[in-house]
Every structure is written in structure tokens, then in C-alpha cells.
Structure 1
Amino acid sequence: MPDFDVVVIGAGAAGLSVAAIGAGLGLKVALVERGRMGGDCLNYGCVPSKAMLAAGHAAAEARAAGRFGIRLAPPEIDWAGVRAHVQGAIARIAPNDSAARYRGMGVEVIEASAHFTAPDEIEAGGRRLTFRRAVIAAGSSAVIPDLPGLDGVPWLTNETLFDLEEPPGHLLILGGGPIGVEMAQAHARLGCLVTVIESAPRILAREDDELAEGVRAALLADGVTLAEGQPVARLEQLEPDSPAATAGVVAVLADGKRIAGTHLLLAVGRAPRLAGLDLVAGGVEAGPKGVRTRADLRSVSNRRVWAVGDIADPEGIGPRAFTHVAGQHAGIVVRSMLFRLPGTKVDYAALPRVTYTDPELAQVGLTEAEARAAGHDDLRIHRWPLSENDRAIAEGRPEGLVKLVVTAKGRLLGAGLLAPRAGEMAGLYGLMIGRRLPLSALAGMVLPYPTLSEGGKRAAGEFYTPKLLSSFTKRLLGLLKRLP
């Protein structure tokens, strides 16, 4: 008889969800976590980064109050107060993810490292745990690039950035993806010099060109320096100018340009946490992108094992490093692993992603480039600028765009949003794409006025304008107007 019905490795978003549901259904569940409960999202990612972005946003709003005829003194940044806000946000949420809470649910929480010793056995904290089913939810960590000189300079990742007791004098950020640009804007608005170095031709290389350009303009307006299309050749340590100063770092670019800073943040990507799991002993196949699974997240090589969250690499789909994907994965595992429901599989057609800069960039479904690459040639692209939105004008924030990617028959494939709080608007488009609702459902919605959401309704309406103004419609109206 196995010791546990389910053993979960990793107490991040995905692991916590699986453990809670399993225990709630009356199963005997063990949850193993070697670090902090709540994983990266709570402790080093989503929560602290959004808390810091909120502080930067408050400072920016104070500086921009003049657009309303309100004169304020330039804000003074209390770094200790900012840190207290960030840590306070973590502390307030932490009880929801705590070991005590999960033990109260009936989950056996083991605070230790875990590794496989057999296809049906895991060792954790000196104990050998046999299981019917296991779920690997060990997450991901920042990629440490193989750069000459990196081992000779101090550097930060998202796991150490929020521990700085003093603000960076000049923060160099390697990587212009979502983490890089979010932290660039937050620190720039909090009074730091910031330079983002991106080897690709532009920042946010995966995002739609038009929308990414809006984020780029916002970063430049906040004083961020962008070095795009600039691979780093090597790193060097910068000696301090005085005995009281700390050593810095110099990034030497491929063209020979030298950029000196006080701190270096590595934000070039994420890698699955595979080390130490001894997956070979467990008969669990994995690759550079994570644990290889089928579409239902079951291991391709060990039928007792599933993988969820950042560490899962579903066949033909690949990993997605988002907390909301971890939640989606938990639901899939419950259906496929516990209830044995056939046909359960990952589907990212309506997956949202958000870069939480100001303005935010939200993308649901396919970008225009992704849709064309997928073979959708007969597309209709409909845009509505926020410069035509009454709420945006009233709030003095008319920069932004709603961009819809639609088939010729009116099916929404993707929606890109560049707007303040765009992430709050994304759910509507996810529902439409996920449920395959016709574009007419959006065009015919009655939305409260004035709201930014009206931009999507107006963009959808553009799809039907040619039909409404067609010669056939005009002839029909000419006949109808003769009726009594």
C-alpha cells in the first residue's frame, strides 16, 4: 500500500492548487517544498514586482499631476518605505500559502528537498515516500547566461533584487523581456538610472510591433536608456571611485561600447528547476525545457507522474511561465489524474499574457504575426486608438491602442491591448476566444460609459462597417423606408 495517494513536489501556485484540491477530495496528500511556501510568484516574482511597480506608478502620477492643473513638489523616494510596502504585500498574502494553512487542510507538508529514488518513490527530509501519483511542480529560475566575466562581477536576479537595502545608482538590466522592462520602469520612476541591454533588435521581441512600440516610448519618457540589438561580449568589474563606494560592473557590447553601472540584473529568461530531482531514477523523461509530458500533462515515460507549471513541457506545445498557466495546469491535472476524464488537455488558444508596465501591454490569443505564421492568410486587422476614447481623453492618458486579429468570417483569433490597466480588460477577449463567440457578441455589447473597454467594442464594430454601408444595405433601406 503506497504511503500517499499524491505527492506534490513544489509549493508554488500549481503545486498548492493540486495539493488543496486533492486533500479536499479526501486523498492522502504530501506537499514537499525546500524553499518558501508560495514559490517564486509570491516571494520573488508577481507579488513583489507588482508592488514595486505600484510604488513607481505613484511617483509618476505625482510628477504628472500638472496635466490636471495640480502643482505638486517632486516626490521624495523613501527606499526603506518602498521596501516596506513590497515586503508588506508579501507578508499579507503569505498566510494563504502557508504550511500551517495546508496542514489544516489535511496536507502533510514536508519542508525539505525532494528527489526520486524509484518510479513510485520520492525521498524528502530523510523519508522515503511511496505514491500512487506524483506531481512535479518545482517551477523555474532565472537563466544565468554563459558570459565571459560574469563570474567576476556581482549580479542580481529576481530572487535577490528585492533585498537591496539601498536603491541602485545605475541598474544595468540584461534582457528586454517582460521582467526586464517592468523592473526598468519601476526603478526609473523611483529615481534610479536604468539601462536595458537587449540582444534582439527590439525589446519585447515576442509582442506585436505596434504595441511594443508604445511600451518602448513609455520607457524612454521615464528616462530608461535602451541598448537594443546589442549583444554583450563580456562583463568587467568596475572598481569603486572611493573607499566608501561599492564595486560596480561594466558591460562591454559586441561593438566595443562600454556601459558602466552599479548593479547588474539578469533577466534573459527562465529555466526549469530540474537539478536535484534525480528524474532518471524516477523514469521521468526531461529536456532543456522541462519535464516532457503529453497534452494532459502526464509524463511521457512514467504514467504515475504529472508535471505542472513552469517545469512542464507538453508535447508540441512547450512550456509557459505564467502563474495563471500554473492554475490552469492544476485544473487539467485534477481532471486527468484524479477523475481520469478522457480528452483533457492543455489549450493555450485563449491564453492571456500581460507586461505590467504603464501603460500595460496585454495579449490574448494570437498576435498578427503569429496568426499569419499559423497559416491564417485571410485576416482582418481592426484597431481603435485610445486617442478616440472619451475616458482616456478625460484622464489625460490618450496613448494606447486596441488591436483585434479577426478571420474573414468574424472569428476573433487575438486581441492586443496597450492601455492603463490593460490586464483588467483582457478577460473579456479570453472568454470570446475560448468560447468561440462571434465578433458580433463584442460589437453588440452594452458597456458602461465612459470606459476604456469601449475601445474593443469600437474596434469590433469596424468589422461590420463595410457591410452596414454597402450598396446592398443602402438599397434595402431605400425599400424599407417606403413602408408605412
Structure 2
Amino acid sequence: MSRTFDAIIVGAGQAGPALALRLVAAGKTVAIVERHLVGGTCVNTGCKPTKTLIASAYAARIARRGADYGVGVGSVSIDMPTVASRARKVILDSRKDTEDWLAGMPGLTFIRGHARFVGPRRLEVNGETIEAAQVFLNVGGRARVPDFPGIDEVDYLTNSTIIPLESVPAHLVVVGGSYIGLEFAQMYRRFGAEVTVVEQGPRLVQREDEDVSGEIRSFLEEEGIEVRTNACCVALARHPEGVSVRVDCTDGSPQVVGTHLLLAVGRRPNTDDLGLDKAGVAVDEAGYITVDDGLATTAEGVWALGDCNGKGAFTHTAWNDYEIVAANLLDGEDRKVSDRILGYALYVDPPLGRVGMTEAQARKSGRPLLVSKRPMSRVGRAVEKGETRGFMKIVADADTKKILGAAILGTGGDEAIHGILDMMNADASIGVLQWAMPIHPTVSELIPTVVGELKPL
């Protein structure tokens, strides 16, 4: 049996359903194929549930600090089944919303199953062949499980399997000191677990500047999280208490023993079982699909969107991939991945909002720079909230007077960073931002002040 469509979308993550809507609105017949959960990583194991869990952890933190605000709350306890149930409801509601959206989309055929290429723009799903002039791959990614010695001998959690946990580990060992690992580390510390973070590199979140990494480590350690960096020889073994993690760090015990182990050492694309070679779709050494600036693959009539193309590991980059493809194919535009300015956030508390270059990256560029930095202890809104950890930092080009990048590590940083992101997208000079009149009292109101304090390095 064989069916022909105008377009086939493989994967119902962030980019897939939105692209399907644009295509059917243009009069095309469209099939969307999903082998697992509608909504992709964001809805099922990423943003939606993790930020829901983080909100519960933040509530516990504020409750414990009630006396600081003149509020008596008594002892604070964690009802983990209720915490997990709240996250599960957010997942199921969001997934159902997307499923209902797809079910009511005229001109769309929704197919559940595993699609594999059997030829150029021809796929097999559930024993049936489907083909189209245009194929869009939106297959996402999953947790990378490294080949640590002993990995096959121990139980471990990933960002997916830790989500439904209904009990608090006595001691959670997190291998991986970057974005995913640190969010879970702080979250479970606030739920009451002992937590150790094991990082193979010399510092946490190594993508960020050293002052950002150092400040994050400082406030995590203040909450009682043990951080072990330079863990050059990670190895795993069973232990009567759960799992033993050999770290071989230069300081401290050569092993960490925990009841639970979370692996948070990166992601890998879901591209290894799609038959891409039969379609002429090339991948790089890590398995990411090779795409050009318009997200076209090496195979004619095939595009790749979202985490599987290596152009961004965020929901918003996947959404922007959809916008680029839709604009180019349906609106006659010439949008490019290289034109976008990347912003993102790390949802530890306080959060980190980031856009553009780090200071270290700007220094390596060799251009003359202007830099400004202000501690959150000098931001009125942070003082009023009693959340003064962190700082704001902006880096600009001294010649063009354009902002190159910024970091806001502090309360509201994930929201306030958008003021800078928007100015960078508008290609505005620092003078435009400096003379804006922000609202008081906010975190964002200090951005013009920080701009006004920019000085040569």
C-alpha cells in the first residue's frame, strides 16, 4: 500500500505541528508522523515539566525563608507525589492540546508509527509506504548516555526518567555540571535530597564566562550542594547504598556514593534509525543532520528542523526553524539561520538570561570592547525581593557602539534579558538603549544604567 502527499513531517515536536498548519492553509495535503509522544521534548520531558518542578522547588525555598520576610510558616514538608502529579498534569494537558489541534486540522493526516526512509522522499511507516515532494524532519533528540566504565552495571536516571519520580532521593549524584544537571541538582536539594554534582571539566557551565560559572557554583554550594569539578576519570559501580561514582578529582574523596544517579552529560539527535542514507541525507560525526542556512539537507526536497539539525537545542530555536522554513517556502522570503541572535536561559535560582557573545568570546574576536557590570545587590528590585545574588553584564563594540552580548544572572534575569535581545535584533546602538525610560521598580530598569557605565577594557 502506498499513499502520496504534498508534504510529510516526521515528528510532532515544536516545529512540526506549526509547520503543518501553514502547509495545509496553503492548500497542501500533509501527513505528520509521530512514533512516540506528541509535543516532543519540551512538552513531555523538557521545559513544561521541569519548569513546573522548579516552581515547586522555589515555593519550598521561599517557605523556608518565610521568617526573612516576617512570615511564619512553621515546618516545611515536601509531598513528592503531589509535586510529580502537578508536573504530570501540565504534560498531559499540553500534549492533549496539541493532539486536539492536529485532529482538528483540515487536510492533515496524522500517523502514529516509526517512519524510515526507503528512498528519496519515500518513507515506510507501519508497513505502508508514503511519499511526498517535500519532507521535513523534526525528530528531536534524547539524553546522551556516555560509555563510562560500569555504566551497564548500575541503575541511572536521565532528564526523561527523573521527571515522574514520586520520592525524594536520599542522595542524588548528578554527573554533568551544565544546564540540565544544575537545574535538577538545585531542585532536588530544595526538595530535601543531599546532592553532589560531578563535572569532568574545570568549572560548571563552561560555555559561560568564568565569573558566571563562579557565582553559580557559589550560590549552589551555599544551599548545601557539593560540587566536584575536574572529575577526569568517571567510573560507576554498584554499592550497598545505591551507586558509587569514581571521580579522581584533585581534591576530596576519590569517590561519591549516592542512592540515585542522574546522567546529564549532553544530548544526541534521534537520527540513527531513520534510514537517512537511503534518502541521501548526510549527518555529521555526532549524528546531527547537515543543513544549509535555510535548513535544507543534502537531499533535494528534505529539510531538518529542531534539535536534530545541531543549530540549537532549545524550543525557541526549533520554533524559529519553523518560521524560517515557512517564510522561505510559502512567503517568498530569504530567512537564514545565521541571521538570528541566540538568547537562552539557565533556570537555576536565580536564573541566568544570556544573549549573544560572552565576554570571553568577545575578547577572542580582537575588536575593541566596552564592558559594564553591576551586582544585583545594587538593583533595587532585587533588594526589595531579598534576592540579591548575581550580576548584570553587558559587552559592546567600542567602534560600532553595538551590543555584542549580555548576561543577567539574578532574579528576573530570564525575562529582563529580552530588553537587550530586542535591541540587538533591531541593530540599535547603545545610545538608543541608554536613553530609554524603563519602568520602576524592575530589574530591567537598570539596563540603561549598565549601558551608561560601559567602559573600555
Shorter-chain TM band: over 0.9
Q: 1:87 to 1:65 in 2, by over 3 A?
A: same
Counterpart Cα distance in 1 of 2:258 and 2:72: 33
Instruction: Confirm or deny: 8 A CA contact 1:366 1:414 kept in the other structure.
Output: yes
Give the distance between the partners of 2:380 and 2:122, measured in 1 at CA.
61
Q: Please give the secondary structure, in 2, of the residue aligned with 1:292.
A: coil
* Structure 2 Cα separation of the partners of residues 221 and 87 of structure 1: 30
Could you tell me which residue of structure 1 aligns to residue 326 of structure 2?
334
- 240, 260, 283: which one aligns with 1:286: 283
The residue aligned with 1:260 is 257
Aligned-pair distance for 1:152? 0.5
Residue 294 of structure 1 aligns with an amino acid whose one-letter code is: D
* Cα deviation, residue 336, structure 1: 2.5
In 2, the alpha carbon distance for the partners of 1:163 and 1:92 equals 15
**Contact 1:349 1:365 (C-alpha < 8 Å) held by counterparts:** no
Separation in structure 2 between the aligned mates of residue 169 and residue 126 of structure 1, nearest angstrom: 47
Q: Which amino acid aligns with 1:403?
A: K
Corresponding residue of 1:102: 102
What is the aligned partner in structure 2 of residue 244 from structure 1? none
CA distance in 2, matches of 1:360, 1:225: 19
- Following the alignment from structure 1 to structure 2, what is the Cα–Cα distance between the partners of residues 180 and 233? 16
Q: Identify which range, 419-428 or 168-177, moves more after superposition.
A: 419-428
Contact 2:354-2:417 within 8 A present in 1 as well? yes
> Is contact 1:332–1:344 with CA below 8 Å preserved after alignment?
yes
Alignment partner, residue 442 of structure 2: 451
- The Cα of 1:334 is off from its aligned counterpart by 0.9
Find the counterpart in structure 2 of residue 25 from structure 1.
26
8 Å CA contact 1:211, 1:417 repeated in 2: no
Distance 2:282 2:132 in 1: 18
Say which is worse superposed, 429-438 or 231-240, in terms of deviation: 231-240
Q: Distance in 2 between matches of 1:228 and 1:443?
A: 39
- Say whether the 8 Å CA contact 1:6–1:133 is kept in structure 2: yes
Partner of residue 389, structure 1: 379
How far is the alpha carbon of 1:159 from its aligned partner? 1.3
Q: For residues 133-191 of structure 1, what are the alpha-carbon distances to aligned partners after superposition, in whole Å with 9 as ceiling and x for unaligned?
A: 00111011111101110001001111111122322111111101100000000000011
Query: Equivalent residues in 2 for 1:237-316 (5 A)?
Result: 237-240=238-241, 248-255=242-249, 257-287=254-284, 288-299=286-297, 301-313=298-310
Distance 1:376 1:103, change over 3 A: farther
Secondary structure of 1:141 counterpart: strand
User: Partner of 2:352: helix, strand, or coil?
Assistant: strand
Greater mean alpha carbon deviation, residues 204-213 or residues 53-62 = 204-213
Query: Take 1:85 and 1:129, find their aligned partners in 2: how far apart are those partners?
Result: 39
Residue number in structure 1 paired with 2:164: 163
Structure 1 equivalent of residue 418 of structure 2: 427
The whole-number CA distance in structure 2 between the counterparts of 1:20 and 1:421 is 34
Report if aligned partners of 1:117, 1:123 keep a CA contact under 8 Å in 2: yes
Structure 1 segment 61-80 matched on structure 2, within 5 A: 61-80=62-81
Output one character per residue of 1:74-113: Cα deviation in whole Å (capped at 9) or x when no partner.
3111111111111122123223221x32121122111100
Q: Percent same amino acid at aligned positions?
A: 33
Q: How many residues align?
A: 449
Gaps of 5+ in 2: none
Show CA shifts across 1:314-364 (max 9, x none). xxxxx31111000000011112334453x3210365211100010001111
- After TM superposition, the score normalised by the length of structure 2 is 0.95
After superposition, the Cα gap between the structure-2 partners of 1:231 and 1:368, relative to the gap in structure 1 and judged at 3 Å, is same
Aligned counterpart, 2:409: 418
Q: How does 1:105-254 map to 2 (within 5 A)?
A: 105-106=105-106, 107-240=108-241, 248-254=242-248
Question: 2:138, 2:305 within 8 Å by CA — same for their partners in 1?
Answer: yes
Deviation by residue 1:297-316 (Cα, 9 ceiling, x = unmatched): 001x2121000111114xxx
| DSSP 3-state at the match of 1:280 | helix
- Which position in structure 1 is the counterpart of 2:363? 372
Once residues 421 and 179 of structure 1 are traced to their aligned partners in structure 2, the CA distance between those partners, rounded to angstroms, is 19
- The aligned counterpart of 1:476 is none
* Deviation sequence 1:181-220 (CA, Å, 0-9, x none): 0000000001111111000101111012222222212211
Residues 50-88 of structure 1 show CA distances to partners (whole Å, capped at 9, x for unaligned) of: 111100000000111222222322311111111111112
Gaps of 5+ in 1: 241-247, 314-318, 467-484
Q: Deviations over 1:34-54 (max 9, x none)?
A: 001001111111111111110
Deviates more, 1:415-424 or 1:250-259: 250-259
Partner-residue secondary structure (3-state), 2:131: strand
Bigger Cα Rg: 1
CA distance in 1, matches of 2:258, 2:244: 6
Q: Give the counterpart letter for 2:187 in structure 1.
A: A
- Deviations, residues 415-465 of structure 1 (Å, cap 9, x unaligned): 11011121111222111111211111211111111111122111011239x
